[in-house]
Amino acid sequence: MSPGTLHRVALVLFLLPPTVTETLAELQARFDRETNAVHKARLLERLGDAQFEETRRAGKAGDHAAVAVTLEKYRDNARAALQLLKKQHPDAERQSNGYRQLQFHVRRAIREVDESMLMAPEEYKPPLQIVRGDLIAMDDEMIKLLFPGHPAKPAKTPPPAEKQP
């Protein structure tokens, strides 16, 4: 390879966004080291996208055990980010940065789990159902933290009974 070609390759790699050049393991290591809750939540977006890509690849290859393990790891990462946010920024309504990004990404993760469940054989569905339930619980918790004065679902009131003559 000529020095000019090497320069162009180095320039292209330098200009690529970090998510393209970082491996899943590198992103996971950065996530594990991060101590700022908002940065951790934002980093989960990139890490989660890489994990979703890995689950799609493993699903196409028929490695459903890897799909389940990867989605379980995502769930654990999301839980860690939420716990750190609650510790460092307990008032989500006033300090919503981080909570919003995490909540949007968890919603996306629920869709990813749903898609994986459609393709998975029966024996791999129970762990995916547990992951889905945990993600839904986290999503509900974040909605309550972000909007504490608003009921999650309005209570249905029966229509008033009509008086009979």
How would DSSP label each residue in the chain? --HHHHHHHHHHHHHS-HHHHS-HHHHHHHHHH---HHHHHHHHHHHHHHHHHHHHHHHHHT-HHHHHHHHHHHHHHHHHHHHHHHHH---TTT--TTHHHHHHHHHHHHHHHHHHHHHS-GGGHHHHHHHHHHHHHHHHHHHHHH-TTS-SSPPP-PPPPPPP-
> What range defines the domain where residue 22 resides?
17-146
Assess if residue 157 is contained within a domain: no
Could you tell me which residue, 42 or 148, shows the higher pLDDT? 42
2 pLDDT band, cuts 50/70/90, is: low
In this predicted model, what pLDDT tens digit does every residue of 5-36 receive, in sequence order? 445 544 444 444 444 468 999 999 999 999 99
Assess if residue 28 is contained within a domain: yes
Assess if residue 2 is contained within a domain: no
Whether 161 shows a pLDDT value over 70: the answer reads no
Assess if residue 128 is contained within a domain: yes
Whether 152 shows a pLDDT value over 90: the answer reads no
**pLDDT value at position 4?**
57
The total number of structural domains in the chain stands at 1
Assess if residue 151 is contained within a domain: no
